Copies of this chain bind each other. A is one copy, B any other.
Amino acid sequence: MSAGTIPVEPLAEEETLSLGERAYRRLRDGIVQGTLRPGSRISERSMAQALGISAQPVREALRRLEHDGMVVTLPRRGTVVAEIGPERLAELGRIRAALEGVAAALAAERMSGEDLAELAAIVRSMRGATAAADAEALAELNERFHAILQGATGNLFLVKSLEALRAYDDLGRLRALGSTPKDMPKALREHASILAALKTRDPALAEARMRHHVLRSLTTNGVLAAPRQGR
């Protein structure tokens, strides 16, 4: 590595995932899409045979799902898909709003200039996509916005918790945050205001704005009900 840099891209970070990871995603998708309905019993052996793999990866996946609250397993009894009603979804949404708020606060303190610039670029792209009413592009940009912000915190616990919560997005037939056409301008303004708070390194302001943004978004998407206690 003395001479100039080698002109090749690094390999894709996850060309082949572990069986446990694949089983986890498979089961998770099955649950949120309704294929595996609440109350369904999931046997390690049966599911392993159905997936064509061994029982260990399935077990590992079930443990993770249990941590996520999607299944509940009684020792030596069995594992069943948990009931995830609207009220539970609302709770998880409020938890998510709180965590994303903390992430914004931490990001306001630690975030690098490059990350800030990237967020600014994303917000600019959002402006165009909003004008074009491109819902798909907005969903993608929104995902990147939050991902960069969360990654900037450098806190793995926070990132993983939010990742787990994000898995619930596909449940109530809602796709991604801020994708409904009517609230696109709102979401754009909110993202811009969050970015402004990050630029001024104001943790409290960034947190309040992020939290409000997530709560508002979940409300317009029907996950949360009335604007009872917000902020």
Contacts and interface: CB of A to CB of B under 8 A. Distances in A.
B95 A158 contact: yes
Nearest to A159: B69
A132 to B, nearest CB: 36
B99 A69 contact: no
A153 interface: yes
A18 interface: yes
A3 to B, nearest CB: 26
Nearest to A97: B102
Residue from A64, A69, A153, A203 with most neighbouring chain B CB atoms (10 Å): A69
A106 B92 contact: no
A75 B16 CA distance: 12
A94 B106 contact: yes
A105 B99 contact: no
Pairs of residues from A and B, 3 with the lowest C-beta to C-beta distance, nearest first: A204-B229, A69-B157, A98-B98
14 contacts: A18-B75, A60-B60, A63-B64, A67-B67, A67-B160, A69-B155, A72-B156, A88-B155, A94-B102, A95-B99, A157-B164, A157-B165, A203-B228, A204-B229
